[in-house]
Amino acid sequence: MPDEELTTPTSDAEHRRIGVYICHCGGNISDFVDVAAVRDAVATDPNVVHAETTLFACSDATQHDMVERIQRDGLDGLVVASCSPKLHVPTFRAVSRRAGLNQFQYTQVNIREQCSWVHSDDRPGATAKAAGLVRAGIGHASLSVPLEPVTVDTVPSALVVGGGVAGLRAAVGLADLGLGVTLIERTDHLGGAVGGLGAMFPSNQSGRELIAQLVAEVADRPSIRVLLETELVAKSGSFGNYEVRLEGPPGTEPVTATVGVLVIATGFASYEPALGEFGYGIEGVVTLPEFTAMVDASPGPLQYRGRPVGSIAYVYCVGSRQPGGNEYCSKYCCTATAHVAVQVAARDDRVTQYHLYRDVRTYGVYELLYEEARKRGSVYLKYADDAPPDVARRGDQLVVTARDTLTGPDELEIPVDLVVLVTGMVAAPNHDLTSLLKLPLGSDGFYNEIHPKLRPVETVVDGVLIAGASQGPKTVSESVASALAAVAQSGAMLLKGQAELNPLVAVVGTSCAWCGECASVCPYDAISRVEVDGVAVAHIDPSACKGCGGCAPYCPNEAIDLLGVTTAQVELMIEGMVAPVHEEVLVS
């Protein structure tokens, strides 16, 4: 239910009829910003006919109310003050469309990421700032004009970068939607990391078998073209019509292709411990990927360099969750370790297995593996974050020293035949691709989606999607799920055959006296000289204009405006931000 609403149902030809919604976001905003005071501060604006606070602006109920309100009160502008525009601009543009309001007459105001969350120590300051931001949004909306998106035809095909499990599954899915697919792989074979894996949980199918099956499915589909030893070296054009240049092995001609979207599925690399890190480099100390390969390679009783292995210590979180290093959890390694421990125990139940862990994160169905590992005799010992185990070789004997925080303060010395460092995933080294596509990286070095829940495979680069472990550590099934999400998103983008381009382009005003300066600085050749009533002026082609606004500051007459951020709008926004908030509003 909305809080008190303030509605002024007057009709006034000079003013706009704007509705303002100020979101609590549960308490994410209202715990730190007095949202009612913000409403009161803006409700008297002559352009505002309705202002209310709402618990969740994005909820179905509030969206429904907005549609009704826009229609009933004949609103010609909508301002939603809630989270970052990255999250809900599509939501409220859709609300506007459903209500018959032009979607470009809605303005989003960010009072969460750029206000409540960064000023949680300053409620009056955060409230005053939020009021300023909302006033700026009202100013922006008050000068908004109805615009129609420019539509362009899209190419019904996709480029998939990376031939691992995610890339292969994406290629099959895209082909089944009727899209043409070019799949490129940097190495000379398909399969990626999964192609090197043995038995996997829960089916016991090997990674090799899974990949072979996917490769066969790819081969069955003539609309998929596979290029090995090939990399993406150039990209131009825009969403729906990207031209890509692909370079194959030396001696082959580069290939160009036109694609509507790109699916980036470049996978991960395994963390490589430094020499000496938990004894890495000492004979008998191996990483988890080295160990699983070892178990997979020899079906009989476990051996290491020709000697039987009777005891193993797994040291968890090596290279993961380290302040100043990789701070994230790779979240697959606990499960992979439990899985390999079960396999080892199944071969020879006399092998003693110690798991020195910080926290066990065998989530969901993987909890069953953890349980089975313990049933089969695995011993789990929890070490403290600030007291990691020590791995050393004393003569012929590997010894792991640790304290188990669950059983007592005594130091345990565990003599073992093998130490497995449970390492996680790190971002694959893809600097050239990253800078070519201008993809944003998260603080963990993996590719960043726009939002993990709302837009989980889209990036800020339109039409460039990410899938699999290129986005962050994932299990095989999570990788496949994200690949299918990228397939669905590609379908949503391309199957209509048309894409809507941003209509917020540059426009030329009446003070233009054609000097050619703007045309000379536009790299997209969007500006040309035309004659209107015998007078030469600049003309901007809206389908060629990318909407960067780079031409505007070059106009000596300041005749160019960028729609959505016109000079008049910016000036109103500045005034709105600096206008004082009355004390009585802030202390109410």
Partner 1 sequence: MGAGHGAGAASPRILVFSTANISDPGIDLAGSQHRHYASTISTITVPCSSSVQPRWIVYALQHGFDGVFLAIDGDECAYLPDCNARSSRIAAQAQERLRDLGIALERVRMAALCSVCSEAFVKHMDEFAALLAALPAEVAA
Q: How far apart are CA 472 and CA 447, in angstroms?
A: 7
C-beta of 128 vs 340, nearer to partner 1: 128
Compute the least distance from the CB of residue 466 to partner 1, in Å: 14
Q: Of residues 327-356, which lie at the interface with partner 1 (CB under 8 A)?
A: none
List residues bridging with 535 in a β-sheet.
Answer: 532
**Taking each helix axis from N to C terminus, what angle separates 123-142 and 567-578, rounded to the nearest 10 degrees?**
150
Compute the least distance from the CB of residue 317 to partner 1, in Å: 22
Both structure tokens of 57: 């602006």
460 binds partner 1 (CB under 8 A): yes
Q: Are strands 48-54 and 18-23 parallel, antiparallel or unpaired?
A: parallel
List residues bridging with 447 in a β-sheet.
Answer: 441
Nearest Cα to Cα of residue 458 among 469, 446, 467, 468 = 467
Q: How far apart are CA 532 and CA 522, in angstroms?
A: 21
Compute the least distance from the CB of residue 117 to partner 1, in Å: 4
C-beta of 218 vs 464, nearer to partner 1: 464
Q: Which of 553, 556, 582, 588 binds partner 1 (CB under 8 A)?
A: 553
Q: Which of 46, 125, 237, 248 binds partner 1 (CB under 8 A)?
A: 125
Q: Of residues 98-117, which lie at the interface with partner 1 (CB under 8 A)?
A: 110, 112-115, 117
Compute the least distance from the CB of residue 324 to partner 1, in Å: 13
Both structure tokens of 386: 């600030």
Compute the least distance from the CB of residue 64 to partner 1, in Å: 28
Q: How far apart are CA 485 and CA 166, in angstroms?
A: 11
Q: How far apart are CA 579 and CA 133, in angstroms?
A: 10
Size of the site for partner 1 (CB under 8 A): 52
Compute the least distance from the CB of residue 140 to partner 1, in Å: 9
Both structure tokens of 314: 């797994």
Compute the least distance from the CB of residue 78 to partner 1, in Å: 18
Which range, of 7-15, 174-182, 390-398, 566-574, touches partner 1 by CB under 8 A?
566-574
- How far is C-alpha 523 from the chain's CA centre? 29
461 binds partner 1 (CB under 8 A): yes
Both structure tokens of 517: 């300066």
Both structure tokens of 227: 């290029």
If residue 490 lies in a helix (H) or strand (E), which one and from where to where?
helix 476-494
C-beta of 225 vs 546, nearer to partner 1: 546
Nearest 5°: CA angle at 523, between 518 and 526? 65
567 binds partner 1 (CB under 8 A): yes
Which residue carries 């992979």 as its tokens?
336
Distances (CA, A) of 473 to 136, 427, 437, 447: 40, 9, 21, 11
Compute the least distance from the CB of residue 435 to partner 1, in Å: 8
Which range, of 181-189, 366-374, 526-534, 557-565, touches partner 1 by CB under 8 A?
557-565
Q: Which of 188, 523, 583, 584 binds partner 1 (CB under 8 A)?
A: 523
Q: Which of 19, 132, 156, 162 binds partner 1 (CB under 8 A)?
A: 132
535 binds partner 1 (CB under 8 A): no
The dihedral over CA atoms of 163, 341, 287, 471, expressed in degrees to the nearest 10, equals: 40
Q: Of residues 406-445, which lie at the interface with partner 1 (CB under 8 A)?
A: 438, 440-443
Compute the least distance from the CB of residue 129 to partner 1, in Å: 5
Q: How far apart are CA 225 and CA 219, in angstroms?
A: 9
- CA 75, 81, 84, 87 dihedral sign is negative
List residues bridging with 21 in a β-sheet.
Answer: 52, 80
Which range, of 15-23, 42-50, 131-139, 348-356, touches partner 1 by CB under 8 A?
131-139
C-beta of 219 vs 441, nearer to partner 1: 441
Which range, of 358-366, 421-429, 472-480, 568-576, touches partner 1 by CB under 8 A?
568-576
Compute the least distance from the CB of residue 290 to partner 1, in Å: 32
Q: Which of 118, 219, 365, 532 binds partner 1 (CB under 8 A)?
A: 118
**CB pairs under 8 A, 24+ apart, for 211-216?**
211/165, 211/168, 214/165, 214/168, 214/169, 214/172, 215/168, 215/190, 215/191
Q: Of residues 47-106, which lie at the interface with partner 1 (CB under 8 A)?
A: 84-86
C-beta of 116 vs 287, nearer to partner 1: 116
Which range, of 66-74, 217-225, 423-431, 544-552, touches partner 1 by CB under 8 A?
544-552
Nearest 5°: CA angle at 340, between 336 and 341? 115
Both structure tokens of 495: 């199957």
Q: How many CB atoms lie within 10 A of CB 115?
A: 24
User: How many residues are listed for the chain in this entry?
Assistant: 588
What is the 8-class DSSP label of residue 561? E
Give DSSP secondary structure letters for 154-205.
--SEEEEE--SHHHHHHHHHHHHTT-EEEEE-SSSSS-TTGGG--B-TTT--
Site pattern 488..507 for partner 1 (x: CB under 8 A): ----------------x---
Rg (CA), the chain: 30
Q: Which of 36, 66, 67, 136 binds partner 1 (CB under 8 A)?
A: 136
C-beta of 107 vs 343, nearer to partner 1: 107
Both structure tokens of 150: 């420019």
C-beta of 256 vs 567, nearer to partner 1: 567
Which range, of 37-45, 256-264, 355-363, 546-554, touches partner 1 by CB under 8 A?
546-554
Compute the least distance from the CB of residue 489 to partner 1, in Å: 18
Compute the least distance from the CB of residue 480 to partner 1, in Å: 27
509 binds partner 1 (CB under 8 A): no
Distances (CA, A) of 5 to 40, 73, 116: 10, 14, 22
Which range, of 10-18, 178-186, 377-385, 543-551, touches partner 1 by CB under 8 A?
543-551
Judged by the rule CB under 8 A, the positions of this chain that interact with partner 1 are 84-86, 110, 112-115, 117-126, 128-129, 132-133, 136, 438, 440-443, 448, 460-461, 504, 521, 523, 546-550, 552-553, 558, 562, 565, 567, 570-571, 573-575, 577-578
